[in-house]
Amino acid sequence: MSDNINTQSRRSFLKTAGIAGVTGIGAIISPILSEASGEKDDSAQSSKALTKMPTRTFGRTGVDVSILGLGTMFDVVSNQLMLKQALKWGVNYWDTADCYSGGNSEKGMGKFFAKYPETRKDVFLVTKSCARSTDGMTRLLNQSFDRMQTNYIDLYFAHGIKDISEINDDTRRWAEDAKKAGKIKYFGFSTHSNMEKCMMAASKMDWIDGIMMTYNYRIMHTSAMKEALAACTESKIGLTAMKTQGMGQAANSDTETQIEMVDSFMKLGYTDMQARLKLVWENPKIASIASQMPNMTILAANTAAALNTTKISGTDQILTRQYAMETASTYCRGCTDICESALGGEIPVGDVMRCLMYHRQYNDKELAKSVFYQIPEQTRRSMAGIDYSRAEKKCPHNMDIANLMKEAVEQLV
């Protein structure tokens, strides 16, 4: 009984803490709003807040991009206000992909650029292609032009590579030709599996201008990620962090450390989610964070975090690391070479884990299902009956792979 009461009270505390933090946004973001309306802001918080979105140079491109990027994994056609407001608040790095929201992300941008053509030059536009063949990339790039009502892309990514062999000399020639033709300005890839290995390999390729990779408080301290980041920075590759809030796949139980951490963040004026962004921005090697911001509340909260100059303390960083360790088995780190090879490459464990994250943490069943249904039907059917013990033994983070795969099949089919 007492355990139940404790769990309940912890949960309500965390919930209340989140709301209290979000309410504080008004004070932090008011300088931008006052600036827009021409009013003077007198609040005490204004002394801690910048009035302009900070920018960082994106690798060798030399382009200054907003440290907060607009992730658009949502129906942008129906949410045009998000684009307008993002630009108004200085969020000029826009991230989409041909597959986001069944094409409605790119189409929504097209609707916006058709209505406000003068804004196209102000946006650093990033889109991605799931194709690997050069013919496929050409077809999808042309489709992106049609949908987005533009004739060039600032940064074009091969989407979601797991191994550097997915891009090769043909890809390089294709990227060089597309640059010469003025269709793309820069080329690179995104990765949420085996990120560190892909990044290390890319650091030795002089034609990769940018990489977007999973990067958050759970991953940033590993020596493999630190080395990969240093190698890419040395090679002047621009870096965009994604999945920065480190939301896991398995149900998360609240821990005492989490309560202490949230309480401490609140004293700095941050919610838990805002603080996770700040932890990533602490690293100057990260040029921008592509953050999914499907509504105004999240856009305002993240903008406020970008403008707030209060640093996360060393003690808070230690608490965050401790929390990451305590909940390690709830978060898949994308080291898919390990578990997928243990299963003979039969099951794309990493992709299924990503679907579960979209479903459980983003609360977006449609997105989870759309990614899940890209897995071949036969694999989806066999998934629940596989013996996962070999993969579980090898998983360095003790993830309950069998039950998570079963859960994905039950919830997403």
**Residues found near ligand SF4 in the complex (CB under 6 A):** 332-336, 338-339, 349-350, 353, 395, 397, 399, 401
| CB of 9 or CB of 341, closer to ligand SF4 | 341
Smallest distance from ligand SF4 to CB 331, Å? 8
d(CA 19, CA 42): 24
Smallest distance from ligand SF4 to CB 332, Å? 3
Q: CB under 8 Å to 347, separation ≥6 — which residues? A: 340, 379, 382, 383, 386, 405
| CB of 75 or CB of 337, closer to ligand SF4 | 337
Amino acid at site 12: S
d(CA 330, CA 357): 10
| CB of 70 or CB of 250, closer to ligand SF4 | 250
Smallest distance from ligand SF4 to CB 248, Å? 10
User: How many degrees, rounded to 5, is the angle at CA 332 between CA 327 and CA 336?
Assistant: 150
Phi, psi of 107 (to 5 degrees): -60, -35
Per-residue tokens: 275? 């603080």
d(CA 208, CA 172): 9
Smallest distance from ligand SF4 to CB 201, Å? 18
| CB of 285 or CB of 397, closer to ligand SF4 | 397
| CB of 355 or CB of 401, closer to ligand SF4 | 401
Q: How many CA atoms, within 13 angstroms, populate the side-chain half-sphere of residue 232?
A: 32
Residue 94 bridge partners (DSSP): 70, 125
- Residue position matching structure tokens 């990969």: 228
For 186-230, the DSSP string reads EEEEEESSSHHHHHHHHTT-TT--EEEEE--TTTTTSHHHHHHHH
| CB of 187 or CB of 331, closer to ligand SF4 | 331
Q: CB under 8 Å to 393, separation ≥6 — which residues? A: 342
| CB of 161 or CB of 353, closer to ligand SF4 | 353
Smallest distance from ligand SF4 to CB 118, Å? 45
Per-residue tokens: 50? 């910048």
Smallest distance from ligand SF4 to CB 153, Å? 30
Smallest distance from ligand SF4 to CB 352, Å? 9
Tell how far CA 272 is from the center of its chain. 16
| CB of 3 or CB of 387, closer to ligand SF4 | 387
d(CA 57, CA 65): 6
Smallest distance from ligand SF4 to CB 279, Å? 20
| CB of 25 or CB of 404, closer to ligand SF4 | 404
Per-residue tokens: 65? 């991009």
Smallest distance from ligand SF4 to CB 399, Å? 4
Q: How many CA atoms, within 13 angstroms, populate the side-chain half-sphere of residue 348?
A: 21
